[in-house]
Amino acid sequence: MAEKSGTPAATAAQDGQQSQQQQFLSSFISEIIRSPVNLILVGVIAILIYKIVKSRTRPEVPLPEVKKLPKLRRDFTIEELTKYDGKGSDGRILVAVNGSVYDVTRGAKFYGPGGPYEAFGGRDASRALARFAVDAATDKYDDLSDLNTTEMNSIKEWEEQFKERYDYVGKLLKPGETPTNYSDEEDEGSQQETEAKSENSETDAAAKSKSD
Ligand code: HEM
C-alpha cells in the first residue's frame, strides 16, 4: 500500500531527501574549494555571467552625433578636392567618382582618417574602384582614357552606389574648365542635375532648330 504524505514514514523520507541534497551541495562546494582549478573556472564563469547580465541591463548608449554640415553645391578642381579628406576642422569628406563629386561625410567610418577607404577622401577614386585597388586613388587629374569598357562599366556601377548613398556636390573639373554657377539652382542632388542637363540640351536643340 502506498504511504500517505503527512504520515511519520513520509516525513522521515522527506527529511532523508533533504539531508541527501544538503550533503551533495556541501560535498560539491568542498570539491570546488579544494581545487584551485575549479575555483578559477567558477571565477571565470561568474565574470562571464556578470558581463552578460550587465550588457543586457545596460541603458542604450546614444550613438555619437554626426555633425550635420550645410549642403555643398559647387564644382571642384582635383587640387581643391584634396582639402576635403576628413582631416579639416569640419570633418567634411568628398570623393570624386566618374567626374562627379559626392559628399561622403556620413560614411566617415569608411573614408575618414583610419577608415579602410581613407585613401579615397579628397581624391578621385574612379581608377581605384575600377581596378579594385584602394591605393590607385589619385590627387592628380585623371581622364581615365586608358581604361577599358569593363573598367568603365565598373566605375559607373560604383557611381550608382555613391548616388544612392551620398549627396551629389558638383562636377570634378578638367584642368582649365570653368566651374558652373549654381547660385540660382535648388540643391536637390545629382538626379536633378542630370535632368537639368538633358533639359538644357533639349532647349538648346529647340533654339537651334528655330534659328535654322
Ligand atoms: C578583402 C577585400 C575587401 C573586403 C572584405 C571588403 C569589405 C567591404 C564591406 C563588408 C563593405 C560594406 C560595409 C557596409 O556597408 O557596412 C564594403 C564597402 C565598400 N568597399 Fe570594400 N572590401 C574589400 C575591398 C575593397 C576594395 C579593394 C575596394 C576599392 C578599391 C573597396 C571599396 C568599397 C567601397 C567604396 C565600399 C562602400 C562604402 C560605403 O558604404 O560608402 N572594397 N567593403
Of 111 and 59, which is predicted with more confidence? 111
Note the pLDDT of residue 20: 81
Which sign, positive or negative, has the C-alpha torsion 47, 48, 53, 54?
positive
pLDDT of residue 82: 96
Nearest atom in ligand 1 to the alpha carbon of residue 107 is: 41
Instruction: Identify the pLDDT of residue 147.
Output: 96
Is the same domain home to 117 and 47? no
Q: Which pLDDT belongs to residue 29?
A: 73
pLDDT above 50 (res 26): yes
Report CA(162)–ligand 1 centroid distance (Å).
Answer: 12
Q: Any idea how long the chain is?
A: 212
Q: Is 178 part of a structural domain of the chain? A: no
Distance of alpha carbon 19 from alpha carbon 186, whole angstroms: 84
Helix axes 36-57, 8-34, angle to 10 degrees: 100
Compute the distance from residue 160 Cα to the ligand 1 centre, in Å: 15
Whether residues 159 and 83 fall in one domain: yes
Residues 107 and 164 in one domain: yes
Do 163 and 82 lie in a common domain? yes
7 domain residue, yes or no: no
Closest CA to ligand 1's atom 11: 110
Res 140 pLDDT > 50: yes
> Is the domain of 109 the same as that of 40?
no
Range in 33-37, 49-53, 59-63, 115-119 with the lowest mean pLDDT: 59-63
Closest CA to 77 of 25, 122, 134: 122
* Set of cell numbers at residue 7: 504520515
What pLDDT digit, counting tens, does each position of 175-211 carry?
Answer: 999 999 998 765 444 444 444 444 444 444 444 444 4
Contact of 108 with 117, CB cutoff 8 Å: no
The pLDDT of residue 61 is 52
- Span 1-27, average pLDDT: 68
Domain that holds residue 43: 20-57
Same domain assignment for residues 86 and 156: yes
Instruction: Say whether both 138 and 108 belong to one domain.
Output: yes
Which atom, in ligand 1's list, is nearest to the CA of 131? 30
Same domain, 83 and 53: no
48 and 82 inside one domain: no
In this predicted structure, what is the pLDDT of residue 21? 80
151 within domain boundaries = yes
- Residue 112 near residue 66 (C-beta atoms within 8 A): no
Query: Is residue 34 located within the same domain as residue 96?
Result: no
Residue 9 or residue 17, greater confidence: 17
**Pocket mutation for ligand 1, best pick of 117, 118, 132 (most atoms within 8 Å of C-beta):** 117
pLDDT digits (tens, 9 = 90+) for 107-122: 999 999 999 999 999 9
* Average pLDDT estimate for 19-24: 79
Question: Do 138 and 86 fall within a single domain?
Answer: yes
CA of 108 to the centre of ligand 1 (A): 13
Q: Tell me what pLDDT residue 70 has.
A: 95
The residues facing 100 across adjacent strands are: 97, 171
- Pocket residues for ligand 1 (CB within 6 Å)? 107, 110, 117, 128-129, 132-134, 165
How far, in Å, is the centroid of ligand 1 from the Cα of 110? Answer: 8
- Ligand 1 atom nearest to 110, measured from its CA: 38
Number of domains in the chain: 2
* 166 pLDDT higher than 80: yes
pLDDT bucket at 145, cuts 50 / 70 / 90? very high
Task: Determine the average pLDDT of the residues in 46-64.
Answer: 63
123 part of a folded domain: yes
Closest residue CA from atom 14 of ligand 1: 110
What CATH number does residue 156 fall under?
Answer: 3.10.120.10
